[in-house]
A and B are shown apart, each in its own frame.
Chain A
Amino acid sequence: MAGSASMSVAVGARAAPPATRDAPAVRWTLTAIALAFLALFLVLPLVVVFAEAFREGIGAYLASFDDPDALAAISLTLLTAAVAVPLNVAFGICAAWAITKFKFPGRPLLVTLIDLPFAVSPVVAGLIFVLVFGLQGWLGPWLVARDIRVIFAVPGIVLATLFITFPFVARELIPLMEEQGTEEEQAAMTLGARGWTIFRRVTLPNIRWALLYGVILCNARAMGEFGAVSVVSGHIRGRTNTLPLHVEILYNEYSFVAAFATASLLAVLAIATLVLKSLVEYRIQRQVARASAGAAGREALP
């Protein structure tokens, strides 16, 4: 991520010559095709969501949220994200710290395992939890005996979300921390700092933007996850429906305005995520630009 940022900085710094000498007609055609594609597949759906949501006026739009099931879905989604994101921040930092600052047996395996949630289909991820915690699952009888409900209940939803969003923070941090190496930590050590002080005053400030970036992506996915959550939720209205599941139910029941109104919340979340993401990317880019400007200045200065 930092690498791509620095690359775009380098391109921006020079006035890039045109890549080809094609006739203007060709260039315009290609640009038009790209824009049309974008409009059709990205902008249009977004517009449709809002158009359908407001089709019967703002009153009907607001009325869709005046429903205990909708409010329950919103609060469950917020609760899920509120649990999953902090936990994955903690796990992500631990994993990235362990992987990049230490050499230990099984390190490559850990790196691979972190990517597992990306590699596996969300539905399969959900099924794994059903197989482990479900009535017929490994831990099912034990849980039933203690009257603990995981599957078709909130804990299952949180677990599935945790699993799906696990890689986001770690994946953002590992390349950056790998690149930064361990010398600054070692320097802090020679200056008398203890482990926690080193983390708080040296490591954390160095990764804060990448961390925020990971948190934003993690949050977006935690709130928007459908497949895995759908498998473990059981779709109990007002109890185990998150926003995406609620949208599906409303849609299947032909409550289009309510479905699109609820979907518009997710769309707003997506737009807010994109804006935040761009802001953070801009900050990271500036950081990199400052660092490389410094590196370039090194030769010029005495």
Chain B
Amino acid sequence: MSIQIRNVTKTFGSFRALDDVSADIPTGELVALLGPSGSGKTTLLRLIAGLEDLDPGRGSIRYYEEDITGTPVRKRRVGFVFQHYALFRHMTVFENVAFGLRVLPRGARPTKAAIRDRVLELLRLVQLDGLAGRYPAQLSGGQRQRVALARALAVEPRVLLLDEPFGALDAKVRTELRQWIRKLHDELHITSVFVTHDQDEAMEIADQVVVMNGGRVEQIGSPAEVYHSPRTEFVMNFLGQVNTFTGRAVGRDIEFADLRVAASDGRLRDGEVRVFVRPHEFELRGRANGQPCAAATVLRIHAAGSVARLDLQLADGKLITAEVPQDRFAALAASTGDLVYVAPRRVHVF
């Protein structure tokens, strides 16, 4: 484990930003801290960097087994990429990237020629060769982001920390840049943590996702794990669309909307529960075939896209959304106003 976060608590005045947070960042992986604003994800990142101090005596942070709780930022050897890049506006791209090398103590400082070679190599790596003489104001957002990355990498950091790295970019540049960052990470294998509020972003490029809410960690796991086996209602709701019902638990079964199905985790329960079904976890049929299903009226069809999305209304008036693959939708041949039968393949109860 390159970073171990243990029982970390951080308060700002009376506001508790982080509440007993523990997490491990495995060496060489790209980890996303995912959560809505105010969930404490940026605070956690800044604590890892040392830009904020832990509440005294409340938890510890270790880098490669070394406790760095009291170590000042400049000694931690972290690469930090700020949301708005924080490039030195009065320095050229070259000088920005060279900064971390130039401020090294005299004994450790490379020669001028070595600094030059290293900076040019980094600029090639981030595909900015030829722009070394520009000022930050003369660059596009994506280019600035890459300068910030090169600058952070120049000091050969033990961990790379990125605060909302794609937040300030427009949609197209954003998708390109995140695939590029994933590729870069696969080349460099530097342990990296990035903060994001966009679940698609986390799902697409992270090896591990730390889902946070209200200053606590909700779940840690691979993108597939947190998506398919959410452990809390919050994770269920936050990662993608979901239909919510009120139902009753009877043993391992759940009763809701005239249906009785087994809960996905197979635990014994009793009493009133909230039931979650993802749109793609509904099976749609043209007619009832004896298996448990509920009748629903088709209100709207969105057929454009990789899957067909249907807005349906159950007999009791409840509105739900279902997604079926295009070929299944073609076989179903349903149109607005038709009656279809829905059967959930998986239901989640917490």
Q: Does B173 contact A (CB under 8 A)?
A: yes
| 10-26 of chain A: CB within 8 A of chain B | none
Residue contact B143 to A193, C-beta cutoff 8 Å: no
State which of A187, A202, A290 has its C-beta within 8 Å of the C-beta of B80.
A187
Residue contact B137 to A290, C-beta cutoff 8 Å: yes
Q: How far is the CB of A177 from chain B (nearest CB, A)?
A: 13
Residue contact A206 to B90, C-beta cutoff 8 Å: yes
Q: How far is the CB of A104 from chain B (nearest CB, A)?
A: 14
Q: Does B284 contact A (CB under 8 A)?
A: no
State which of A184, A193, A301 has its C-beta within 8 Å of the C-beta of B86.
A184
Residue contact A190 to B79, C-beta cutoff 8 Å: yes
Residue contact A190 to B140, C-beta cutoff 8 Å: no
Residue contact B49 to A190, C-beta cutoff 8 Å: yes
| Bound CA span A262–B140, Å | 55
Residue contact B137 to A190, C-beta cutoff 8 Å: no
Stretch at the interface among B98-106, B111-119, B236-244, B265-273: B98-106
Q: How far is the CB of B177 from chain A (nearest CB, A)?
A: 11
Interface residues on A, range: 20 to 34
State which of A190, A191, A205, A302 has its C-beta within 8 Å of the C-beta of B51.
A190
Residue contact A301 to B74, C-beta cutoff 8 Å: no
Q: How far is the CB of B71 from chain A (nearest CB, A)?
A: 12
| Bound CA span A202–B99, Å | 10
| Bound CA span A187–B89, Å | 12
State which of B74, B78, B88, B136 has its C-beta within 8 Å of the C-beta of A294.
B136
| Bound CA span A186–B205, Å | 27
Residue contact A295 to B137, C-beta cutoff 8 Å: yes
Name the residue in A190, A197, A302 with the highest tally of chain B Cβ atoms < 10 Å from its Cβ: A190
Residue contact A197 to B73, C-beta cutoff 8 Å: no
Given contacts A190-B152, A194-B74, A293-B137, contact A183 B90 (CB under 8 A): no
Chain B positions within 8 Å of A187 at CB level: 80, 82, 86-88, 151
| 263-302 of chain A: CB within 8 A of chain B | 290-291, 293-295, 297-302
Residue contact B89 to A206, C-beta cutoff 8 Å: yes
Residue contact B73 to A189, C-beta cutoff 8 Å: yes
Q: Does B184 contact A (CB under 8 A)?
A: no
Chain B positions within 8 Å of A202 at CB level: 88
Q: Mark A193-221, 1 if CB is under 8 A from B, else 0.
A: 11001000110011000000000000000
State which of A190, A192, A291 has its C-beta within 8 Å of the C-beta of B104.
A192
Q: How far is the CB of B45 from chain A (nearest CB, A)?
A: 12
Q: Mark B128-140, 1 if CB is under 8 A from A, else 0.
A: 0000000111111
Q: Does B142 contact A (CB under 8 A)?
A: yes
Q: Which residue of A lies closest to B144 (CB)?
A: A298
Q: Does B68 contact A (CB under 8 A)?
A: no
Residue contact A301 to B155, C-beta cutoff 8 Å: no
Residue contact B79 to A184, C-beta cutoff 8 Å: no
Q: Which residue of A lies closest to B172 (CB)?
A: A302
Beyond known contacts A290-B138, A293-B137: 17 more, CB 8 A cutoff: A183-B86, A186-B73, A187-B80, A187-B88, A187-B151, A188-B99, A189-B73, A190-B78, A190-B80, A192-B75, A192-B103, A192-B104, A192-B155, A194-B74, A197-B103, A201-B103, A295-B137
